[in-house]
Copies of this chain bind each other. A is one copy, B any other.
Amino acid sequence: MTRSRSTDGRVCTEQPTPPATVHDVDTDLVGAVDRTLGGYLAERTADADRLDPDFSAATGELRTFVLSGGKRVRPTFAWWGWRGAGGGDDAAGPDDAETVTSVLRVVSALELIQACALVHDDLIDGSAVRRGEPTLHTAFTTRHAGMRWEGVPERFGLAAAVLLGDVALAWADDLFLSSGLTPPQLGAAIEPWRAMRTEMLAGQYLDVITQARADESVDAAVRIDQLKTAAYTVGRPLHLGAAIAGGSPELLAAYRSFGADIGVAFQLRDDLLGVFGDPAVTGKPTGEDLREGKRTVLLALALVEADRTGRHADAALLAGVGQPDLGEREVAELSALLVDLGAVAAVEQWIIERTSTALAALEAAPIAEPAATRLAELAVAATVRKR
């Protein structure tokens, strides 16, 4: 990608990349999403620069954050949701490039919603590191301290993170609105777009209040997974793609069922990684979820078992997670306890069952190829054991 730079070194514009075909995107979806986001954020940063250079410097940080990684999970499900509902099948005509560009813009907008979710979530959790880099509020706190500005550095970090998360959410809607969908496509897309954003925020709020209440039930943990992952990450992106392609009610039902199962399985795998994962892979220190006191299904199952078998000391240990200063040794002890109480095995079993049900729903549904195969592969890839 060629970039032109202004005299002060800021990137101002980006030369347009040639329009992609359906086949191009099918074979390099992550690359296509990255290029779409890169082009859009370059435009919006140039806009921001016309308003004020301090503001564009801040949105530049947001842009770097969005472009610096992420697996583009939600755009991937949305794209294959569209393809599986027949989107792009009759795409040899002159409208091909235009349609592909519009759909790519819509699915890429999901990453901006996710940027808002991550920036605000890191602030809420007080997390210092994300993908091996300082989180946004931490970076702005450090900048304030380094510049010896007035006031409390942490409050500046908070302000910047709140506002840049808002920018990401507003720009997500702007990208969706200006995607170039036809009026009927846009009309059909409104319902999943609306539901998805509210479900994400509901899941985040439940996560916060569940921790505040120290609600350690399996039910509460599953409910959060259903909103944050099953609906927001898998089900609604598939729904969005299918709606744009005019998918049948039968197909939507299959996607919903698939999303519910695979989303929960996916989150259960993430819970295991949050305790046992390799920092080089997860970008977070080992045992981070234990330090944060995250109320996961994994933890809830261990607690049920400790209570059932009268292991009160172990139950108290588990209920007490959430010390930010937990050392390596305590993390290792707690991890061993989760294995010992059978919670790890139970979660692995649950992942297998949910994945099987999800694959069966896929099998039975009228999903076009190559999407059916790709969705099955995604389901497996997202849920198999990996450390």
Contacts and interface: CB of A to CB of B under 8 A. Distances in A.
A48 B202 contact: yes
Nearest to A174: B194
A204 interface: yes
A162 B123 contact: yes
Interface string A141-160: 00010010111000110111
Q: How many copies does the complex hold?
A: 2
A170 interface: yes
Given A162-B162, A178-B194, A227 B51 contact: yes
A100 B201 CA distance: 31
A167 B214 contact: no
A135 B378 CA distance: 44
Contacts of A211: 150-151
Given A163-B201, A167-B201, A199-B51, A150 B212 contact: yes
Say what secondary structure dominates the interface of chain A. Answer: helix
Contacts of A194: 174, 177-178
Interface stretch (A10-18, A52-60, A65-73, A252-260): A52-60
Given A52-B223, A194-B177, A212-B151, A124 B205 contact: no
A206 interface: yes
A166 B169 contact: yes
A126 interface: yes
Contacts of A322: 150-151
A313 interface: no
Contacts of A116: 166
Nearest to A209: B54
A89 interface: no
A105 interface: no
Interface in A235-262: none
B198 A48 contact: yes
A120 interface: yes
A94 interface: no
A307 interface: no
A34 interface: no
14 contacts: A51-B198, A55-B205, A55-B206, A120-B163, A124-B158, A149-B213, A150-B213, A150-B322, A156-B208, A162-B162, A167-B198, A170-B198, A170-B201, A174-B197
Interface of A: 44, 47-48, 51-52, 54-55, 58, 116, 120, 123-124, 126, 144, 147, 149-151, 155-156, 158-160, 162-163, 165-167, 169-171, 173-174, 177-178, 183, 190, 193-194, 197-199, 201-202, 204-206, 208-209, 211-214, 223, 227, 322
Given A52-B202, A52-B227, A159-B208, 11 more contacts: A120-B162, A124-B162, A147-B213, A151-B322, A158-B158, A162-B162, A163-B201, A169-B169, A171-B198, A178-B190, A183-B183
- Minimum-distance CB pairs A-B, first 4: A149-B212, A183-B183, A170-B197, A173-B173
